Copies of this chain bind each other. A is one copy, B any other.
Amino acid sequence: MTMKVTVKDIQQAHARIAPHIHRTPILQSSALNKIIGCELFFKAENFQKIGAFKARGGCNAIFSMDQASLQKGVVTHSSGNHGAALAWAAALRGAPCTVVMPDNAPLVKIAAVKGYGANILLCEPTMAAREQAVATAISEHGFTLVHPFDNDVIIAGQGTAALEMLEQIDQPVDIVMAPIGGGGLLGGTSIYAKGMSDAQVIGAEPEGAKDAWLGFKNGERLAEYSPNTIADGLRATVGVRNFAAIIDNVDDILLCSEARIVEAMRLIWTRLKVIIEPSCAVPLAAIMDQPEQFQGKRVAIILTGGNVDLDALPW
> Which residues of A pack against B, CB within 8 Å?
25, 27, 46-47, 51, 266, 269-270, 272-276, 306, 310-311, 313, 315
Contact = CB atoms under 8 A, between A and B. Distances in A.
B315 A310 contact: yes
A272 B51 CA distance: 9
Contact of A274 (B270, B275, B311, B315): B275
A269 to B, nearest CB: 6
Contacts of A274: 273-275
Given A274-B274, A274-B275, A275-B274, A269 B310 contact: yes
Contacts of A269: 275, 310
B273 A51 contact: yes
Contacts of A51: 273
Contact of A313 (B25, B270, B306, B310): B310
Lowest 3 A-B CB distances belong to which pairs? A273-B306, A273-B275, A46-B273
B266 A310 contact: yes
Nearest to A30: B49
A117 B310 CA distance: 34
A236 B47 CA distance: 33
B306 A315 contact: no
Nearest to A115: B31
Given A266-B310, A270-B275, A310-B315, 18 more contacts: A25-B25, A27-B47, A46-B273, A47-B272, A51-B273, A269-B275, A269-B310, A270-B310, A273-B274, A273-B275, A273-B276, A273-B306, A274-B274, A274-B275, A275-B275, A310-B313, A311-B315, A313-B313
A269 B272 CA distance: 13
A273 B47 contact: yes
A171 to B, nearest CB: 19
A266 B306 CA distance: 13
A270 B313 CA distance: 13
A177 B306 CA distance: 27
Contacts of A313: 310, 313
A275 B273 CA distance: 5
